Homo-oligomer: A and B are copies of this chain.
Amino acid sequence: MPKSPLSLGLLISALAVPSLGFSGNEAAVMHGFTASHAVTQSELEARFDANLNANDLRGWLQQMSSAPNQIGSPHDKANAEFMLSQFKAWGWDASIETFYVLYPTPKRQMLELQGPKPYRASLSEPTVAADRTSANRKDVLPPYNVYGADGDVTAPIVYANYGMPDDYKDLARRGISVKGRIVLTRYGGGWRGLKPKLAYEHGAIGCLIYSDPRDDGYGAADSYPQGPGRPAQGLQRGSVADMPIYSGDPLTPNVGATKDAPRLSIAEAKSILKIPVMPISYQDARPFLESLGGPVAPSRWRGGLAMTYHVGPSTAKAHLVIQSEWSQKPIYDVIAKMKGSELPDEWVIRGNHHDGWVYGAEDPLSGNVAMMSEMKALGALAAQGWKPKRTLIYASWDGEEAGLLGSTEWVETHAQELAQHAVAYVNSDGNSHGFFGAGGSPSLQRLVDEVAAGVKDPISHTSVLSRARAHTIVTGVGEGRNDEHAREARDLLNGGELALEPLGSGSDFTPFLQHAGIASLNLGFGNSDPSGVYHSIYDSFDHYVKFNDPTFGYGVALAEVAGHIMMRLADADLLPLRMAPVASNISHYAEEVESLTERLRAQTLEMNRVIDDKAFELGADSADPVGAPPREAPVPHLNFAPLKNSAAALSAAAAAFDEAYAAAINHSNKLDLTTRKAIDDDLRRAEQSFLSSTGLPGRGWYRHMIVAPGLYTGYGAKTIPGVREAIEERHWADTTDTIASTSAAIESYKAVVEAATAKLKAL
């Protein structure tokens, strides 16, 4: 599902230790391992690497992407069964876990423009000769946005750019309402599900989402099949469930969608949208855009079509019909386990989804086949006598595209066991050539960096860490830049570690991290190519081997990185967590929300002066009048002391822990199994201590107080979201509570860290 989240800037960090940051050749320090175990582990990893085979990935990818594999398709089930048989053959204790989810599929769809220049939208993606599977139409569904409403609506159109909150402010300042109209938006700028949601909240009765050529078509790259840009009739399917409220089956929030689970009615399900919504190509969008009158669109609204973009409304009406078949359908999670030899009750979990929107070669199968190669290689090691010390669980999820269904239902079903046993969750999704990127829990940052320092980039043959570090620097440092990217780049140049990117949403880590409080990672390789075949029929094997990863070298590199992380999590003497990055991130977030408040205060004061000055009225261009924004109440002074006190306390606790941890590893003779188990247990529970039982305001399913998908960004992460979003939304009254609950979560994390430190010091 992720729209190349890993290609957007660089997500991972170089190490403070230069020998790790810049070379994979030197003897590695290995976090969590005694010196002698580190040597054994390195040898094991070399054997693991030798078991990886690019041709395996190529074969599996071609087979699994040979037919449509969305929920309910025959090939979706066939892929699950194929994996099951493979996993068993490789020695894993594997089974398919089936859930039953609401999954509407299109029965009738129609979109036309009425008026003097009538047009009937094609709503289809033509066959491209160089792309073999595009000729195969068996089991291909018409393009749709799942979890939009059914409807038959006819109304004038208004263009609303990306359909994000700021765009509605721009419309309001031009006196244009979407009430009773159909909103035409373009992909980009934020999570697609927000577009129809915000359109509905502003009174619209329907929503169209098209892919503008400037964003991922010829304006970004040559069009497929010449290049990776989206072709004229290419379009982006996708879920529009209100995932920032909860992920998973819309009818079973908080519980697993087992056969006999209690279910909401469709009307009760908050994550299902209220208006019909349809994804279209720019070829289909053009007549609708051309029908628009009203002012010329603001410059940041203009796309790449050879025309002048207007805001609307149109005098001609659009007619949109969507009827779906709203039945329950089965989804197939393939779960494989390898029991731990020493600490079998500690579970290290790995996942990637296997369902795609059509053929799904890049998204998700490229990541899935990398994960399969890890499983085959681990199976081979096991056959040679190796056993993981902790239990490994590998999962290939179904139904991710519709809203993280397979992972969410599994997490909700096994919530109690996971709270008792889960150590960490390692996710991947689509993968491509480019730079290593990683996001996740900062306690795992050192582990990720050490592993990445030891994996070679298939093109440059330097470590994937050093390439990622270099890319972060060159894309972040620039003349006069002073943003978050520049800060990261400068930190790296100064020898600093770079934080793992905070995780928003868009893939299966969400239920693990943000609902269940399990330390999580999201890994992959990516680049700045436009994702022009994303969620289209052209995300195919032919496309993948032409533009994504012709040699599967990056698939193997992903298997190495994820595999080494899994093996170190499984075999470490103590769970390889480090607390300093957790504390420094939280301190940084606390500074950010405070300075955000100061900035908002100054901006509000200044903007109110401009409004009171009547400068917007006098200063408006008569040919394109833009009114004043609404006057905002002054920003109050907030009490950030609880947040800063808890952050400071955590910093001290983290430093003490890291010191005690290093000392303990150096005196490994004292680390007997009971001690290790007790310390691991603290470390395992640490991330859970960030959970709040009541969750975030208005969306209690999201319980992690440090990171969540943004309510108005969707994929994009918000850190200390309760506090940050209350400030951004100017809900000043809420900030007292959210500062208190966030501070309490930080205190609670600190207490767990201190408990672990005490045990380490007692050795």
Q: A residues engaging B (CB < 8 A)?
A: 213, 218-223, 227, 229, 296, 299, 302, 304-308, 433-435, 459-460, 462, 466-467, 469-475, 477, 479-480, 490, 493, 527-529, 599, 603, 606-607, 609-610, 613-624
**For residue A305, which residue of chain B has the nearest CB?**
B306
Is B308 a contact partner of A229 (Cβ separation < 8 A)? yes
Determine which residue in A222, A619, A624 has the highest number of CB atoms from chain B within 10 A of its CB, and name it: A619
Q: A308-B223, A473-B615 are in contact. Are A603 and B480 (CB under 8 A)?
A: yes
Q: A306-B304, A493-B609, A610-B493 are in contact. Are A624 and B474 (CB under 8 A)?
A: no
**For residue A459, which residue of chain B has the nearest CB?**
B622
**For residue A467, which residue of chain B has the nearest CB?**
B618
**For residue A628, which residue of chain B has the nearest CB?**
B474
A435–chain B nearest beta-carbon distance, Å: 8
Q: Name the 5 nearest CB pairs between A and B, nearest first.
A: A470-B619, A470-B618, A471-B619, A470-B615, A474-B619
In angstroms, Cα B490 to Cα A745, docked, is 42
Is A610 a contact partner of B473 (Cβ separation < 8 A)? yes
Is A619 a contact partner of B307 (Cβ separation < 8 A)? no
Is B603 a contact partner of A479 (Cβ separation < 8 A)? yes
Is A621 a contact partner of B528 (Cβ separation < 8 A)? yes
In angstroms, Cα B610 to Cα A470, docked, is 9
A to B CB contacts below 8 Å, 11 in the list: A218-B307, A220-B299, A304-B306, A305-B306, A467-B619, A469-B619, A470-B614, A470-B615, A470-B616, A474-B620, A527-B622
When distances are taken between beta carbons in the complex, the residues of chain B under 8 Å from A471 are 615, 618-619, 621
Report which of B606, B617, B620 forms a contact with A490, defined as CB distance below 8 A.
B606
A131–chain B nearest beta-carbon distance, Å: 19
Determine which residue in A462, A473, A607, A617 has the highest number of CB atoms from chain B within 10 A of its CB, and name it: A473
Report which of B460, B475, B613 forms a contact with A473, defined as CB distance below 8 A.
B613
A220–chain B nearest beta-carbon distance, Å: 8
Report which of B472, B607, B624 forms a contact with A528, defined as CB distance below 8 A.
B624
A703–chain B nearest beta-carbon distance, Å: 32
In angstroms, Cα B609 to Cα A693, docked, is 48
Report which of B474, B615, B618 forms a contact with A616, defined as CB distance below 8 A.
B474
Determine which residue in A459, A618, A622, A623 has the highest number of CB atoms from chain B within 10 A of its CB, and name it: A618
In angstroms, Cα B72 to Cα A252, docked, is 83
Is A222 a contact partner of B296 (Cβ separation < 8 A)? yes
Q: A305-B306, A618-B460 are in contact. Are A606 and B493 (CB under 8 A)?
A: yes
Is B618 a contact partner of A306 (Cβ separation < 8 A)? no
**For residue A490, which residue of chain B has the nearest CB?**
B606
When distances are taken between beta carbons in the complex, the residues of chain B under 8 Å from A603 are 479-480
A550–chain B nearest beta-carbon distance, Å: 11
**For residue A10, which residue of chain B has the nearest CB?**
B619
Is B308 a contact partner of A221 (Cβ separation < 8 A)? yes
In angstroms, Cα B613 to Cα A490, docked, is 12
In angstroms, Cα B470 to Cα A479, docked, is 31
When distances are taken between beta carbons in the complex, the residues of chain B under 8 Å from A622 are 433-434, 459, 527
When distances are taken between beta carbons in the complex, the residues of chain B under 8 Å from A460 are 618
Q: A477-B610, A610-B474, A615-B470 are in contact. Are A623 and B308 (CB under 8 A)?
A: no
A459–chain B nearest beta-carbon distance, Å: 5
When distances are taken between beta carbons in the complex, the residues of chain B under 8 Å from A299 are 220
When distances are taken between beta carbons in the complex, the residues of chain B under 8 Å from A472 are 619
Q: A474-B615, A493-B609 are in contact. Are A621 and B527 (CB under 8 A)?
A: yes
When distances are taken between beta carbons in the complex, the residues of chain B under 8 Å from A227 are 296, 308
When distances are taken between beta carbons in the complex, the residues of chain B under 8 Å from A304 are 304, 306
When distances are taken between beta carbons in the complex, the residues of chain B under 8 Å from A607 are 477
In angstroms, Cα B609 to Cα A470, docked, is 12
When distances are taken between beta carbons in the complex, the residues of chain B under 8 Å from A606 are 477, 490, 493
A221–chain B nearest beta-carbon distance, Å: 6
Report which of B433, B528, B621 forms a contact with A434, defined as CB distance below 8 A.
B621
Report which of B599, B610, B624 forms a contact with A480, defined as CB distance below 8 A.
B599
In angstroms, Cα B618 to Cα A466, docked, is 7
When distances are taken between beta carbons in the complex, the residues of chain B under 8 Å from A615 are 469-471, 473-474
When distances are taken between beta carbons in the complex, the residues of chain B under 8 Å from A621 are 434-435, 471, 527-528
In angstroms, Cα B614 to Cα A619, docked, is 49
Apart from A304-B304, A470-B613, what 18 extra A-B contacts exist at CB < 8 Å? A213-B306, A218-B306, A221-B296, A306-B306, A467-B618, A469-B615, A469-B618, A470-B616, A471-B615, A471-B618, A471-B621, A473-B610, A474-B610, A474-B615, A490-B606, A493-B606, A528-B621, A528-B624
A622–chain B nearest beta-carbon distance, Å: 5
Determine which residue in A433, A603, A621 has the highest number of CB atoms from chain B within 10 A of its CB, and name it: A621
When distances are taken between beta carbons in the complex, the residues of chain B under 8 Å from A618 are 460, 462, 466-467, 469-471
Is A473 a contact partner of B619 (Cβ separation < 8 A)? yes
When distances are taken between beta carbons in the complex, the residues of chain B under 8 Å from A296 are 221-222, 227
**For residue A530, which residue of chain B has the nearest CB?**
B296
When distances are taken between beta carbons in the complex, the residues of chain B under 8 Å from A609 are 493
In angstroms, Cα B476 to Cα A619, docked, is 11
A151–chain B nearest beta-carbon distance, Å: 32
When distances are taken between beta carbons in the complex, the residues of chain B under 8 Å from A229 are 308
A611–chain B nearest beta-carbon distance, Å: 10
In angstroms, Cα B213 to Cα A213, docked, is 15
When distances are taken between beta carbons in the complex, the residues of chain B under 8 Å from A308 are 218-223, 227, 229
In angstroms, Cα B213 to Cα A315, docked, is 26
Report which of B223, B613, B624 forms a contact with A493, defined as CB distance below 8 A.
B613
Determine which residue in A222, A223, A599, A610 has the highest number of CB atoms from chain B within 10 A of its CB, and name it: A610
When distances are taken between beta carbons in the complex, the residues of chain B under 8 Å from A462 are 618
In angstroms, Cα B620 to Cα A467, docked, is 8
In angstroms, Cα B606 to Cα A493, docked, is 9
In angstroms, Cα B527 to Cα A338, docked, is 71
A298–chain B nearest beta-carbon distance, Å: 11
**For residue A214, which residue of chain B has the nearest CB?**
B302
**For residue A302, which residue of chain B has the nearest CB?**
B219
**For residue A600, which residue of chain B has the nearest CB?**
B479
A481–chain B nearest beta-carbon distance, Å: 10
When distances are taken between beta carbons in the complex, the residues of chain B under 8 Å from A305 are 306
**For residue A219, which residue of chain B has the nearest CB?**
B302
When distances are taken between beta carbons in the complex, the residues of chain B under 8 Å from A623 are 433, 527, 529
